[in-house]
Structure 1
């Protein structure tokens, strides 16, 4: 039987963001410690996403869009546009800085944005690795098509497929389209799993869940769709303990987080080439 967890939605100058993880009832699902749904949003010309340079440690970020685009820049020198269906995976490790803005062409016109942002905690033995970045186009990602189920594996391992993204613990992130009358057995039954309904509605053991619902699944749960639905499945191996989180920092050591706070305040994180004229202050 699925367990429904409701996210909290905030309006940021007309832009809706729903914080799903961490949740008071569930701090993490597999290695996922953070999940935001950005949008859907319609922006007028001159408006849109403009997240100034900010730091991360101890995690990997996953950005996955269904509409619109984001311009990613980071302190490793990466500078590229994220488009719908692409996977943008940034491993912070011991420390990285990035910004999330938009190209001139996007900002200069009316445009939309809709997508998910996740943080995936790094196991303790990998928490201080060198930062890294990977970006894969949608056509490079594994596909599963069978009996009205169309699945794209974004990261990890599921349904006999492996994503090209390097991950650091057993996990999965699937984008699944369900045609009317189709059903889908939740993946990786030995791991934690949750679903997030992007479009439509689905039945889990005869319980109906709608767009925007985040549901923790049991091992033998079957998901069925009466009409077109689009659902993200995410999860992984259950962790024995949950790391600490402060702002953009994740660590099993509170002292390490305090050090990261001092490093940001005192300018010891690296700059982003071409985007170093402003930054996000420590809250």
Structure 2
């Protein structure tokens, strides 16, 4: 068991006295948080919280542990900071696994040009994992998808990216210039993992239902093999990998929203955020939130009000 990490979870729950709020602050689901607190209690051989349907209270043992736990977590974080400076500063950055390679290259080159003394260490992580890693200090800054609810974090400028649909080049819809979401009826959908992008999944599926598309099956993953085989479709920014075609969605009903996120702002974090905004605009075609023309959802020909 990672005792320091579990003590960090304990301090957050002790501050919130609410497992749901603590889970949101840590960027994780409530059941795993409850399991980790139970594991810590088993490891220490004491009960830390009195739980009831209405409230959560610290036990006497919990109150005695809280001050020490905060001190231990702070000391370990300080040791990590000293170690980083001793080896030369490293900025640990979380990036979505499906982010375009050109954007990642732009992050590295752009940041290195202005800060040659700081080594950028990218780690591929979905949004939910990044939020947990930021709360724990495992990474310094991340590029995350919205919507998210993480009160303990700060966020940079939100950028928007128009989403279309990727289809196998043999799909009859590939002959069209535009595709309405309702035209995808009966097709299976490939999306990022539910546990990694819960906010994105809920938002996209709600809009699909509103527009008349309820996927037959929702697959989870980032590889496009299912789409290439014609077994599913996927929503993505403009791109055309071999064997696939990208078509805009009529009315542009789906927009990806990205920003940087951090827990502790440093000069390196601020510099990376500026590089990220510039790179995502130049390499990924993103725009400032609200800067794009207002979206107008058109009805398909023949569909009556």
TM class, shorter-length: under 0.3
Q: Flag the structure with higher strand content.
A: 1
Q: Flag the structure with higher helix content.
A: 2
State the structure with more CA Rg: 2
